[in-house]
Amino acid sequence: MLERLFRLDENRTSVRIEVVAGATTYLTMAYVVFVNPLILSGTGMDRGAVFVATCLASAFATLLMALFANYPLALAPGMGMNAYFAYTVVKGLHYSWQEVALGAVFISGVLFLILSLTRVRSWIVDAIPLSQKMAISAGIGLFLGIIALKEAGIIVASPDTLVTLGNLKSPATLLACAGFIVMVALDRLAVPGAIIIAILAAAITGILLGISPFVGVIDTPPSLAPTFLALDLRGAFDIGIATVVFVFLFVDLFDNTGTLVGVAHRAGLLDEHGKLPRIERVFIADSIAAMVGALLGTSTVTSYIESAAGVKAGGRTGLTGVAVAALFLLTLFFAPLAGSIAAYATAPALLFVACLMARGFAELKWEDVTEYAPAVVTALAMPLTFSIANGIAFGFITYAAVKLLSGRFAEASPSMLVLAALFIVKYAFF
């Protein structure tokens, strides 16, 4: 049955290799079950329910990708999108998490599905210049970075300078700094699960020192009821949230595409023309995952680049994803442990992911000012306005204007000009 489903012999792999690869992928991304509930609970969402939603959404999405597309690709609520959900949409724009946040995530998933069934998706992806794609990735990294520094207590608000240095003598802040250093060192030593090991080490140390309370380790899963089907689609159709839906859709589109190509390349799954077989199935699975995640009560579910760790361990088929999904379901019983993880323990993980995403700067054409200047605007605007949407808008407007004014009309695609014009209209009249 496994051979028929996953074509193990054709992909030169075995059940043992795939299971080990799945465990490896899970260990590298399991931090999401601690970080995601902590971020989203800041909006008023029930932390226990978000934990269950995170585990169920990750298990469902990864299993769907495994069975429908047969790829060793794991999915979970995306870092960056959950921060945008909590800090920009709910706290910044003062929308309710039921109405706009979850509703907008669901609508973006529906739109993603429609785009996946047509050629529009490819048109959008191809129309956006590489420099802006890389800038969006790096900018989200900087956005996560400033959130991580804030959660760790390293920076605090200041009426004079906007932000300033926090209390570095605070035990929680010191633990966060130590956790990040340990995390980086473990990753450099290629220790599987470096992120989750460092999180647990910081949390346990904090509990032993009395910095944070200990809730427990294993128990029956909390109720999903507080977030299950809590989205308000009628409220989400408010024209004022068009930009929110656009950002959820836009970032998921590029995040998924970049992750897919990167993981597939490492796994040797690209054909002789550099294209990925069954790519339509991959995008359909991803869009359905986003919708189901919203129904369960979590932010946008998307593909994780950490899947590359499983590929490196030998994973080549969807059986890797089946193993990952099973482990996420098993995690449901560790809700008390997730509740014992304080912000100072998860902040290092956010900062570490920020460092990984900042690598997008390396792909910029630094010899061409019309490429790197708009890209830097995109990346800087995200953390400094606390909004991924503003970063994308400022970057697109700058890119289109610079290309037109410098006489390089051909490099400003019609779609970029249209998007830039729409953003200008938004800021001018809405």
- pLDDT tens by residue, 369-387: 999 999 999 999 988 988 7
Look at residues 315, 294, 224 and name the one whose alpha carbon lies nearest to residue 252.
Answer: 294
pLDDT beyond 70 at 122? no
Secondary-structure breakdown of the chain: helix, strand, coil percentages, each rounded to the nearest 5: 70, 5, 25
pLDDT score at 11? 66
Give the model confidence (pLDDT) of 234-255 as tens digits. Answer: 766 665 567 777 777 777 776 6
Detail the DSSP E strand segments found in 45-144. 75-77
**pTM of this prediction?**
0.75
Which tens digit of pLDDT belongs to each residue from 268-285?
A: 665 655 566 677 788 888
Distance of CA 253 to the CA centre of its chain: 11
The pLDDT, as a whole number, for residue 59 is: 94
Q: Give the number of domains in the chain.
A: 1
- Asked if residue 58 has pLDDT above 90, the reply is yes
CA 63 to each of CA 30, 114, 329: distance values in angstroms, whole numbers, following the listed order: 16, 21, 11
pLDDT per residue as tens digits for the range 123-182: 666 677 888 878 887 887 888 888 889 888 999 888 888 889 989 999 999 999 999 999
Q: Where are the alpha helices (DSSP H) in 358-387?
A: 369-385
User: Domain limits at 210?
Assistant: 2-429
